[in-house]
Chain A
Amino acid sequence: MIDMAKKGDWVKIHNVVLAPSQRSSNLPEDTKKVPLEAWINGFLNEDGEIGETVKITTLSGRIVSGTLVEVNPRYTHDFGDPIPELLKIGPHLKKQLEEGSD
């Protein structure tokens, strides 16, 4: 992982928006115990290091400060694995359609 980021790099910052004690009173017990956190991506305004408080300019043009957590943040979601519980559905339905057209 890259620890240093240069001005103009595309980065992700993190903030605690509300500490548990500042949160809405109307929450389930598990949610009450944890803070409300936020992550925002943008272009770094000055050189910085992971863990430092930095300022970024977001895609909407806002300047936001927060803790630098990632440089060139990756999209982590993917297509997943083939699902055995789904794989036989296609062949089964196709067979039914073939029988029907006899």
Chain B
Amino acid sequence: MYEDVMKRKNEIIQRAVGIDYSKFEIEGIAFDYERMMQEVSYTLEEIKKIQFETQVGNTPLVELKNLTKLVRRASKPGKGARIFLKDESTNPSGSFKDRRASVSVYHAKNHGYKGVIAATSGNYGAAVASQAAKYGLRSIIVQETFDSNHVGQPEILEKGRACEAYGAEVVQLTVGPELFYYTLKLLDETGYFNASLYTPFGIAGIETLGYEIATQVKSRYGKFPDAVLVTHAGGGNVTGTARGLKKAGAFNTKVIGVSVDLRGLHMASDHDFNRKSFTTGHTGFGIPFSAYPDRVDVPRNAARSLRYLDRYVLVTQGEVFFTTEALAQVEGMMRGPAGNTSLTAALSIAREMDEDQIIVVQETEYTGAGKLPSAQLTFAKKMGITVKNGDSIKEDIPGKVIAIPQDVEQIGVIEYPLENLKKSYVKESIKMYGRHEFSNTEKKFMAEDTNSNLKEIDEMLGEVLKNGKA
């Protein structure tokens, strides 16, 4: 039965998203990304209107004056950029994911679908359920929730509760990528719309976030932000935010992706599953989805982060817990913790920048039972993880030790060179297309898709093939 459903994957998905991806194909690896984004989805103006109607977006931009003071205290004279936070938790279901869901669910409603389905263990489930409630559509959310001992990750249990509170049916599964199989079966059975995170709808919905950041900063301070920090998982957040910044004219704003460092933990491992204190925004998504975006549930992923990233850094679990505590204690904002991933990096990156520069952290998320650091760390201790105070970057070991810093001075970032991601992209392309040769059209596409030039693509192809690792 598994094989039978998987064989019909393309047919099921085509009906469930209503997009004919074949018309954007050019040749082999190459497809017309910009044309897909323009033709499939809605314009920025249309999306603003769709989101306004359902109370999504137009979230406050808050200056974190106390955290900025603490950063300056730990910086060289003249250093310590102003840190601003886009309070996305004020969206209807409590995260920026409402922006993604708003467009998908609007589209589903207008195209006669009776319901929507999303496969997600994250805030996106609540967002889809909330939007479906507004439009009078039914919704089903499929989550990876438990390990084989029926122990649930508290953050995911909370998200399941939230989905149910908005009226969604929630299917809670044990660990494994066959979540996709189960989702296909449901799409086939119900005829509902696949509110995938990776269609042009899901990405275009985030463009308003980048656009609002650029215009809010410009209207208050007469210039665009110097850097925008984006929590990086599947690539949608980076892609949508960066596209929105550009649509507002903020071409020189640096887009910095940030993921929680969970390297070493296997994302499909039953054992490792409950030894992560973060269920999204981590390297288990950030790295593989950048290197091979089309690994998703639709033929062509609209989230293509390497096109937009200027820099990619990692932070530790312990650092994010520190930052979450600090945000509550000195700024009076109880949020996150996963949504504070990029705020954590801001505390370090602001120290490299001048006092008159502006950093915007582009999200927050709601918090509460299951999500708070107290809930996550109590659970981590129960799962045998050592929780201690210490130098997080040196002592944190994903799945074994969470070392929590005590001072802003101890917050740092781990640089993950974009060159490495680009090489992985080339390596994955060789593997997925089973070829060592690519046409000029394909190489031109690879260059665009990784923000490189043709010469760099040729060099990376040469290097990967020489090392024989593809």
In the assembly, what is the distance between CA of A79 and CA of B157, in Å?
Answer: 12
In the assembly, what is the distance between CA of A96 and CA of B71, in Å?
Answer: 11
Whether the Cβ atoms of A17 and B374 lie closer than 8 Å is no
Please encode chain A, from 17 to 52, with 1 for each CB lying within 8 Å of some chain B CB and 0 for all others. 110001110111011001111111110000000000
Tell me if A89 is interfacial: C-beta within 8 Å of chain B: yes
Contacts of A76 in B (CB 8 A): 152, 157
Given A77-B157, A77-B370, A89-B406, A27-B375 contact (CB < 8 Å): no
Given A38-B182, A86-B404, A93-B329, A27-B177 contact (CB < 8 Å): yes
Whether the Cβ atoms of A58 and B176 lie closer than 8 Å is no
Whether the Cβ atoms of A78 and B161 lie closer than 8 Å is no
Whether the Cβ atoms of A30 and B69 lie closer than 8 Å is no
Whether the Cβ atoms of B157 and A80 lie closer than 8 Å is no
Whether the Cβ atoms of B146 and A92 lie closer than 8 Å is no
Contacts of A80 in B (CB 8 A): 154, 372, 374-379
Contacts of B167 in A (CB 8 A): 59
Whether the Cβ atoms of B369 and A59 lie closer than 8 Å is no
A84 smallest CB distance to B (angstroms):
9
Tell me if B322 is interfacial: C-beta within 8 Å of chain A: yes
Whether the Cβ atoms of A30 and B271 lie closer than 8 Å is yes
Whether the Cβ atoms of A86 and B73 lie closer than 8 Å is no
In the assembly, what is the distance between CA of A19 and CA of B404, in Å?
Answer: 40
Please encode chain B, from 360 to 385, with 1 for each CB lying within 8 Å of some chain A CB and 0 for all others. 00000000111011111111000000
Q: Interface residue count for B (Cβ, 8 Å)?
A: 66
Whether the Cβ atoms of B377 and A83 lie closer than 8 Å is yes
Tell me if B325 is interfacial: C-beta within 8 Å of chain A: yes
Binds A, one of B98-106, B204-212, B262-270: B262-270
Whether the Cβ atoms of A24 and B378 lie closer than 8 Å is no
Tell me if B252 is interfacial: C-beta within 8 Å of chain A: no
Contacts of B124 in A (CB 8 A): none
Contacts of B372 in A (CB 8 A): 79-80
Contacts of B169 in A (CB 8 A): 40-42, 58-60, 62
Whether the Cβ atoms of B1 and A60 lie closer than 8 Å is no
Contacts of B404 in A (CB 8 A): 85-86, 89
A-B contacts at CB below 8 angstroms, number: 165
Tell me if A97 is interfacial: C-beta within 8 Å of chain B: yes
Whether the Cβ atoms of B182 and A100 lie closer than 8 Å is no
Most buried by B among A24, A41, A82, A89: A89
Whether the Cβ atoms of A77 and B164 lie closer than 8 Å is no
Most buried by B among A26, A35, A37, A85: A85
Given A17-B178, A31-B268, A93-B330, A60-B115 contact (CB < 8 Å): yes
Contacts of A36 in B (CB 8 A): 173-174, 176, 178, 182
Tell me if B388 is interfacial: C-beta within 8 Å of chain A: yes
Whether the Cβ atoms of A83 and B330 lie closer than 8 Å is no
Q: Which of B148, B326, B369 contacts A93 (CB 8 A)?
A: B326
Whether the Cβ atoms of A59 and B377 lie closer than 8 Å is no
Q: Which of B146, B170, B173 contacts A17 (CB 8 A)?
A: B173
Tell me if B158 is interfacial: C-beta within 8 Å of chain A: yes
Whether the Cβ atoms of B388 and A85 lie closer than 8 Å is yes
Given contacts A37-B174, A89-B404, A92-B406, 8 further A-B contacts (CB under 8 A): A23-B176, A77-B158, A80-B378, A81-B374, A81-B378, A86-B374, A90-B325, A93-B407
A selection of 21 A-B contacts at a CB cut-off of 8 Å is A24-B181, A31-B175, A36-B174, A37-B146, A37-B150, A38-B172, A59-B170, A60-B140, A62-B189, A75-B369, A76-B152, A77-B158, A77-B370, A80-B375, A81-B378, A82-B374, A83-B374, A86-B321, A89-B406, A93-B407, A97-B66
The 9 A-B pairs at the shortest CB distance, nearest first, are namely: A80-B378, A90-B329, A77-B370, A60-B169, A34-B148, A80-B375, A80-B374, A58-B169, A77-B157
